[in-house]
Structure 1
Amino acid sequence: MSEEQRPRLRDLFRPRAAAPDRPAATATDEAVPVGLRITAAYAWRLLLIAAAVAGIIWLVIELKLLVIPLMVGILITALLWPAMQWMLRHRFPRWLAVTLALIGTLTIVSLLFWLVIWQVRAQLPDVQERSSAAIEEFRQFLLTGPLHLSETQIQGYIDQGLQIINEQTQALLNGALAVGTTAAHVVTGAVLSLFILICLLADGRGIWKWTLRLFPRAARPAADAAASNGFATIVNYARTQLLVAA
């Protein structure tokens, strides 16, 4: 053996390359049927998607005081968008178009509320008369019907009902407070919806361009096209609902 072929001491301590044997994980994977491997791959991906959807739903529920007014503002914007486009095509200043759109919307909503209140007030005497007649008819049924109750028994049942109501006063107060909290949330949501509506009508395209920057650069064209098609769908939906309501 020559001097070059003789192993030296430092060569014995050098790390050697691993043998080109198959890893144990690969051998184990090949032992699993192909159908089961594909099913497992789909399963963990579906579980990941379900977890992401659940997280989004939880976030929407937690931020409902902001998400719901945002959705309402977008829907009303889609409803007013054809009128806004018409005014902008006829060279209306944008601030004037926004003002006219808001004033027109508030006027229409106020007229609808006035119409409902007027109808209720006009029919209230008739409703009261019919309610009194129905109560008297029910009372006569209790007196002369198969139950054969007396005036004393009827009054006793009424007293028991009033006593139950008095005992549940705290629950009624809690319910009233809950209704008051809900009313405050409704007012807050209405103010937020109005603010979002004004912003979207004034510079909705600019807001969307800023939002589009949050997407990866390669995904921006697809996101922009999807948003444009989605908004057009919302506009058509709002127009159809308006025609149906009319």
Structure 2
Amino acid sequence: MVDDGGGDTTDGGRRARPATDGGDVRAATDGGRVRPATDEGRGGPPVTGAGQGAGPRQAWAGLPWLVRSAVLWSACLVVVVAGLYLVGKIAVLLAPLAIALAATLFLTALLDPVLLLLRRLRLPAALAALLTVLFLLGILVGVGVLVWNLTASQFSELSQELDQGLQRTRDFVTSTLPVTDDQLDKLIRQTRDGLGGGAPDPVGGARTAAEVAGSVLLSLVLLFFLLKDGRSMWHWVLRRTTGPNRDVAAEAGRVGWRTLGAYSRGTMIIAAIDALGIGLALVLLRVPLALPLALITFLGGFVPIIGATVAGAVAVLVALAAKGPTVALLTLAAVIAVQQIEGNLLEPLVMKRQVQLHPAVVLVAVTAGTLIAGIAGAFVSVPITAVAYRVIDTVQRHRQAAARPPAPA
């Protein structure tokens, strides 16, 4: 029998005194069962039995610290990956809008110095934004017309040269490696089906063209408004932020915007230098179609690592088809030399420390962006990663500075 009033317990005439610890009754036995009593030191209700509250906490505390850390980090990683996956799926579903927004932010950061120059001339914001957009359209249209007039007749030759280069590469592979023609054809067919997704659909092609045209028009309109009212929009956001978070948000926004601007301008400069260097090497080696190959190199420069590799491979294939293996090897050496100079000298000099990312991080980001959104994802993955890294680093440094104790007077 248990005396609910906290008295002694009898069992066969023997009296058992309750265990005490500073006046707190911890437990009393009743037929082999353990019943904790009220924890008077905390002034709370009676503590329940093991497995009903204290048990899970005790079990968690009894785990090794390494296991607990692994569980917590794994849970955080799952939440972050799930959030990124959800954002990626939404971006894919709204692909035209997402591409338009990404292109608008990229172009705004790229053209911001032009806008500031016009504003220093005391032009109104609307007129300065309009002139900046017209400046961009003039450059794009002018370069497009010039390149088309110089290379339109050569693109068909480029396709033929690539076919010949691929045929020579195929002959080399089948004669050197233990691979038959049927096996190679099967591999090429599987790769083409995986990349192309079957036969072209005229209706799907028309819909894609309409989406691209709509995205371009939307980007131009958004570009005008961001150039005209972008800073006032950001100030409006900051005014809605209270307390110390306002300074953190302002600093993170400035750092992120500087990073995006440095990346956009630096990428364009580096792509132009790569195209000029490889194009000059192709001209010296008398490789045909040097201008179209330089244009491909320039466009490939906007996709770090992978774009330069693909553009260099195209140049080597054309040299192999047109001039033979010796000139192809010299072209390969020129491509490698230009890329090494760009990666080790130009990129640190042009990009500065604001957008420096490890090549492994860049490769993973480009691959993830390609898998999520194709070519558009490959273009925007690295700037998104660079801006996110700089923003997170800025917020972390502010938190560390706030948690640091003040220096003694």
Larger RCO: Structure 1 or Structure 2 (Cα < 8 Å, ≥ 6 residues apart)? Answer: 1
Change (3 A) 1:50 1:243: closer
When the two structures are aligned, how many residues end up with a matched partner? 191
Q: Alpha-carbon deviation of 1:196?
A: 0.8
In structure 2, distance between residues paired with 1:84 and 1:41 = 47
Change (3 A) 1:49 1:76: same
Cα displacement string for residues 96-136 of structure 1 (whole angstroms, at most 9, x for unaligned residues):
21222122111111111211221235658x959xx7xx9xx
In structure 1, distance between residues paired with 2:255 and 2:120 = 21
Change (3 A) 1:211 1:190: farther
Aligned to 1:185: 211
More helix by proportion, 1 or 2?
Answer: 1
Structure 1 unpaired stretches of 5+: 1-15, 135-170
Aligned to 1:24: 55
State which of 103, 119, 123 in structure 2 corresponds to 1:92. Answer: 123
Q: Alpha-carbon deviation of 1:69?
A: 0.6
State the AA in 1 paired with 2:220: L
In structure 1, distance between residues paired with 2:214 and 2:205 = 14
Q: What is the SS of the residue equivalent to 1:190?
A: helix
Aligned to 1:195: 221
Q: What is the SS of the residue equivalent to 2:85?
A: helix
Change (3 A) 1:61 1:48: same
Aligned to 2:65: 34
Q: Percent identity?
A: 26
Aligned to 1:3: none
Aligned to 1:243: 269
Give the CA RMSD over aligned residues. Answer: 3.2
Q: Alpha-carbon deviation of 1:73?
A: 0.7
Aligned to 1:220: 246
In structure 1, distance between residues paired with 2:101 and 2:260 = 14
Change (3 A) 1:214 1:65: farther
Structure 1 range deviating more: 208-217 or 196-205 = 208-217
- Give TM-score, length-normalised by structure 2: 0.41
State the AA in 1 paired with 2:254: S
Aligned to 1:234: 260
Larger radius of gyration: 1
Cα displacement string for residues 50-109 of structure 1 (whole angstroms, at most 9, x for unaligned residues):
212222222222222212111101111111111111111121222221222122111111
- Give TM-score, length-normalised by structure 1: 0.66
Structure 1 range deviating more: 192-201 or 64-73 = 64-73
**Pairing 1:66–2:66 present:** no
State the AA in 2 paired with 1:242: M
Change (3 A) 1:176 1:52: same
In structure 2, distance between residues paired with 1:242 and 1:46 = 35
Change (3 A) 1:28 1:112: same
Q: How does 1:121-140 map to 2 (within 5 A)?
A: 121=152, 123=154, 127=157
In structure 1, distance between residues paired with 2:251 and 2:74 = 31
In structure 2, distance between residues paired with 1:193 and 1:97 = 17
Cα displacement string for residues 36-55 of structure 1 (whole angstroms, at most 9, x for unaligned residues):
22222222222122212222
Q: What is the SS of the residue equivalent to 1:92?
A: coil
Change (3 A) 1:34 1:175: same
More strand by proportion, 1 or 2?
Answer: 2
Structure 2 unpaired stretches of 5+: 1-37, 39-43, 164-197, 274-409
Change (3 A) 1:240 1:38: closer
Q: What is the SS of the residue equivalent to 2:201?
A: helix
Q: Alpha-carbon deviation of 1:31?
A: 3.5
State the AA in 2 paired with 1:88: R
Aligned to 1:176: 202
State the AA in 2 paired with 1:208: W
In structure 2, distance between residues paired with 1:36 and 1:76 = 47
